[in-house]
Amino acid sequence: MNNISRYLIILFLTVVAPFGLAAQNNALLERLYDTFANNCIALDCTYSIESDAVPVKGQCEIEFQGTSYKMKGGGLEIFCDGASVWIMDADVMEAVIEPVSDESQTYMSNPALLFRDMDQMFSVSGSSAAGAAMRYRLSAQKPCGVRTAVLDIDKNAVLQKAEFLMDNDCVIRIDVKSVTVLPKKENSAFAPGKISSDWVVTDLR
């Protein structure tokens, strides 16, 4: 999985994961999590990534439910059904399939682990008004690739913006264009189905 796509998946899982007792008095954040935790959610977003390298901007669509997700952006489609991850590049007709394994303790390489452990990983360090929205500041309690996060949530508990500072000092900003709540789906909806024999497939499971 290329770094841009990995970052985006991790960041969205960070947004929707539980924040534990530290968030119990943050009503909008609680409502946001409740909506995201109990539904299938589709997001349409733009993003920018600032680092020592050339700045990157783009657009992505992501749909997630629990530890399953699918994403289109950065020239790739990524699927995860909770057991396997498919990274697919239609331009070159290549796919890589990786396992989701508890054996990996590197959160940057396994976003599902970050989602699973988020209640232990982050705490809410503060909140304040940001125009018509509330701004929540999150701090990592353990190494996970993301050092701090800032979320802007409107009065209807809808995520508007997010900014993340990564451990490598990269800054990622996300503007959410739309949020759609969908009925829950079977895990099979987060797999690509049969891959054509014309594709080059590397299966690492």
Q: Which amino acid is residue 11, in one-letter code?
A: L
Q: What is the pLDDT of residues 47-65, one digit of tens each?
A: 888 877 777 888 888 888 8
Strands (E), 51-91: 56-65, 68-73, 76-80, 84-89
Q: Is the dihedral of CA 102, 168, 16, 121 positive or negative?
A: positive
Q: What is the pLDDT of residues 102-155, one digit of tens each?
A: 443 345 444 444 444 555 677 888 888 888 888 988 888 877 778 888 889 888
Distance CA 155, CA 21 (A): 22
Alpha carbon separation from 138 to 109, 116, 169 (Å, rounded): 21, 17, 16
Q: What is the pLDDT of residues 154-180, one digit of tens each?
A: 888 888 888 888 888 888 888 989 989
